[in-house]
Amino acid sequence: DMKVTQMPRYLIKRMGENVLLECGQDMSHETMYWYRQDPGLGLQLIYISYDVDSNSEGDIPKGYRVSRKKREHFSLILDSAKTNQTSVYFCASSLSLTGNTEVFFGKGTRLTVV
Amino acid sequence: GDSVTQTEGQVTVSESKSLIINCTYSATSIGYPNLFWYVRYPGEGLQLLLKVITAGQKGSSRGFEATYNKEATSFHLQKASVQESDSAVYYCALTGGNNKLTFGQGTVLSVIP
């Protein structure tokens, strides 16, 4: 079963706390992504990972970092969360970074920073 | 840079009626873009609905269609007769020369039974 799994699905954190969002995929995909979506905006790319320990900033990386130590697992870390990081975060994966490859998405994590 | 515009944030249609969701794009790389429609059903992640990588071609899936119109830079999503189960959020997207997906803001489709 091809799946991208995100944990947790819902999270409430206080401003200044550290946040860890976890993502796993069971398809042995090389490429993984983290996006966020805010009301009225499309999904915005935070980070992209081409493989283990091979990560690259996306369009909005400020305030985030990532870790990929295993091909099937990709974490998003917020050091000292801010209220403007309240959003829905989507993890995704694809077989490779080619332009017409299907991207598979997780169900999202709704993060609220208070 | 590349961009995708969906003009309707929300669309409400009665069951069995026709649907069109508008999408226009701007792409900077020669020979591109590849065009996609993704859909997110309630409680689920985004999933690919259809894609078209050649200008002038039409893609179709689950009764939905979209034609890659390079002259109009459009990729509108259409369905002749919607069902209540089509209620979801629809995202138009493209990949350009950098091979990264650029999304529109999404259109919430509500189908009234």
For chain A, the distance separating the N- and C-terminal CA atoms, rounded to the nearest angstrom, is 37
Q: What is the pLDDT of residues B31-83, one digit of tens each?
A: 779 999 999 999 999 999 999 999 999 999 999 999 999 999 999 999 999 99
In angstroms, the separation between the Cα of residue A45 and the nearest Cα of chain B is 8
**The amino acid at B26:** S
Give the pLDDT score at A31.
94
In angstroms, the separation between the Cα of residue A86 and the nearest Cα of chain B is 17
Nearest-Cα residue of chain B relative to residue A47: B100
pLDDT higher than 90, residue B106 = yes
In angstroms, the separation between the Cα of residue B76 and the nearest Cα of chain A is 17
pLDDT higher than 90, residue B100 = no
Across chain B, mean pLDDT equals 94
Give the pLDDT score at A9.
94
Q: Is the dihedral of CA A5, A40, B92, B16 positive or negative?
A: positive
Spatial distance between the Cα atoms of B92 and A15, rounded to a whole number of angstroms: 34
Q: Please, which pLDDT band fits residue B29 given cuts at 50, 70 and 90?
A: confident
Q: Is the dihedral of CA B13, B49, B46, B69 positive or negative?
A: negative
In terms of DSSP bridges, do strands A73-78 and A10-13 run parallel, antiparallel, or are they unpaired?
Answer: unpaired
Determine phi and psi for B106, rounding to 5 degrees.
95, 150
Average pLDDT per consecutive 10 residues, chain A (114 residues; last block may be shorter): 91 97 95 94 94 95 97 96 97 86 94 98
Nearest-Cα residue of chain B relative to residue A97: B99
Q: Do A42 and B43 touch (CB under 8 A)?
A: no
Give the pLDDT score at A99.
76
Q: Do A107 and B53 touch (CB under 8 A)?
A: no
Q: Do B45 and A43 touch (CB under 8 A)?
A: no
Give the pLDDT score at B82.
98
Contact A81, A16 (CB under 8 A): yes
- Chain B residues whose beta carbon lies within 8 Å of the beta carbon of residue A4: 45
- Helix then strand count (H, E) for chain A reads 0, 11
- Chain B residues whose beta carbon lies within 8 Å of the beta carbon of residue A89: none
In angstroms, the separation between the Cα of residue B44 and the nearest Cα of chain A is 5
Nearest-Cα residue of chain A relative to residue B31: A99
Spatial distance between the Cα atoms of B3 and B26, rounded to a whole number of angstroms: 5
Q: Do B101 and A105 touch (CB under 8 A)?
A: no
Give the pLDDT score at A101.
84
- Chain B residues whose beta carbon lies within 8 Å of the beta carbon of residue A41: 105
Nearest-Cα residue of chain A relative to residue B50: A102
